[in-house]
Amino acid sequence: MKVMTSLERVLTTLGHSEPDRVPLFLLLTMHGAKELGLGIKEYFSKAEHVVEGQMRMLKKYRNDCLYPFFYAPGEVEAWGGEVIYVEDGPPNSGEPFISSPKQIVGLAPPNVSTTPCLRKVLDAVNAIKAHVGDTVPIVGVVMSPFSLPVMQMGFGPYLDLIHEQRDIFWRLMRMNEAFCVEWANAQLAAGATAICYFDPVSSPSIVPRELYLETGFIVAKRMLTAIKGPVAIHTASGRSLGISDLLQQTGAAVVGVSAEEDLAAMKTACMGKVTILGNLNGVAMRNWTVHEAEDAVKTAILKAGSGGGFILGDNHGEIPWQVSEDVLLAISDAVRRWGRYPLAKHHV
């Protein structure tokens, strides 16, 4: 089989056929700072840093995607919230900026084109697109309107809102939806190939399926209809098998798989309908040896690789800062050793 470009490889697996090998999405963000010898805060302060970091990591790890995602609280920063930087991990959201549901009535979503922290991401996407054209997929990121309130108002108060003030909950959803669509489509217009829709609250680990059906599922269907490109729904370490049928109904092209779930069971549930992404354990990966990395890759491919419809990645949507270059290189080598199609020959 001829060697495919990363984009061809990914599109083939999304079409539930076998490409030349299993595509690898190393969802690396902070590691770009290591490449440039910068601290995490400084790295994310300029689009040029992220562009340079992503391009260097693409070359080093022979990755099949580019991931110009800065950090999750970038969206709350756009709404006026606080971002807290640490030296050894992703920036975190600070004190929630909605301290009472009463405030929701007076909120207005930020303007994507004029908000500096969002503009910076669009500039990075645009520059990366200029580098790679249509050879490597560029994955943009949005927080689901249903999950963003965890950072906007705090998890407990948000669950109280869902259960006790449904009218105000929907008011918040409408505002978040307007922002989410504009933000996703701006990234696609800037050159992103697809959007990763992070929606951890939808996971059955977080809300029961019945509640998801009444809330996050409705939101997701509206969002995936309005976003003008392919979308991956990722529950960021949360389980998703229990709602895999519903995720398929949203129109998602890809769903993320938790390390707490069996990749083979998820593959069976999604076979021929939606591609699965996962599920290497990012937290455990910090302490892997290169042999353990190879074993983990081999096992994942054995469970989910056959027939396409599979992208190898981590379970969370972001590789922890503490994961070493050696382990990342070992993962990349292993997918080339064990992920070439047809798989059976190589596994024997």
Least distance CB 166 / other proteins (angstroms): 12
Least distance CB 75 / other proteins (angstroms): 15
Q: Specify the residue, 45 or 205, whose C-beta has the smaller distance to other proteins.
A: 205
Task: Find out whether 180 and 145 touch, Cβ atoms under 8 Å.
Answer: yes
Q: Specify the residue, 125 or 255, whose C-beta has the smaller distance to other proteins.
A: 255
Distance between CA atoms of residues 208 and 220, nearest Å: 16
Instruction: Provide the CB-side half-sphere exposure for 15 (13 A, CA).
Output: 9
Chain residues binding other proteins by CB under 8 A are: 84, 86, 88-90, 92-96, 150, 154-156, 159, 162-163, 204-208, 211, 237, 239, 242, 259-260, 281-284, 286-287, 320-322
Least distance CB 157 / other proteins (angstroms): 9
Least distance CB 143 / other proteins (angstroms): 15
Q: Specify the residue, 106 or 156, whose C-beta has the smaller distance to other proteins.
A: 156
Q: Specify the residue, 268 or 287, whose C-beta has the smaller distance to other proteins.
A: 287
Which two structure tokens, joined as six digits, stand for 200? 């951890």
Q: Specify the residue, 34 or 286, whose C-beta has the smaller distance to other proteins.
A: 286
Q: Specify the residue, 264 or 284, whose C-beta has the smaller distance to other proteins.
A: 284
First to last CA, the chain: 19
Which residues contact residue 345 at a Cβ distance below 8 angstroms, ignoring those fewer than 6 apart? none
Q: Specify the residue, 36 or 211, whose C-beta has the smaller distance to other proteins.
A: 211
Task: Find out whether 234 and 197 touch, Cβ atoms under 8 Å.
Answer: yes
User: Which SS3 state, helix, strand or coil, does residue 170 take?
Assistant: helix
Cis peptide before 73 (omega within 30 of 0): no
Q: What are phi and psi of 97, to 5 degrees?
A: -90, -10
Task: Find out whether 81 and 93 touch, Cβ atoms under 8 Å.
Answer: yes
Least distance CB 104 / other proteins (angstroms): 19
Least distance CB 67 / other proteins (angstroms): 18
Least distance CB 286 / other proteins (angstroms): 8
Task: Find out whether 306 and 266 touch, Cβ atoms under 8 Å.
Answer: no
Tell me whether strands 83-86 and 89-93 are parallel, antiparallel or unpaired. Answer: antiparallel
Distance between CA atoms of residues 54 and 124, nearest Å: 10
